[in-house]
Structure 1
Amino acid sequence: MQFLAALLLQADGTDLTRPDLTINYIIIGVLLVVAAVLSVIVVRRRMQERDDDWE
């Protein structure tokens, strides 16, 4: 019975502190920017390769 009461108290969340997720959001943002830049580079190179094939 005490185990169930402890679970219910934890589920309430009043004593739990939420971690600061700011650094995670910054890391995700940086990774998305890097992915976007690399995608643009790849698209430009593929377009140049297609242009070279036509000549």
Structure 2
Amino acid sequence: MQELEKASDDISHNERETSDVFAKIALVETAIEDRFPGQLLAPYKEWQHRRT
């Protein structure tokens, strides 16, 4: 996910609709939601906070 974050920062706003990076982020979000129902991105945000 960290690599996807870095890649998303380099994409212009005009290219976001067609970017593979944002499609991959959406897949990760879906996988997190499937694994942790009702928590949205809480597990990811906790991980992100722990690594900083």
Q: TM-score, normalised by structure 2?
A: 0.36
Q: Which structure is higher in RCO with an 8 Å CA cutoff and minimum separation 6?
A: 2
Q: TM-score, normalised by structure 1?
A: 0.35
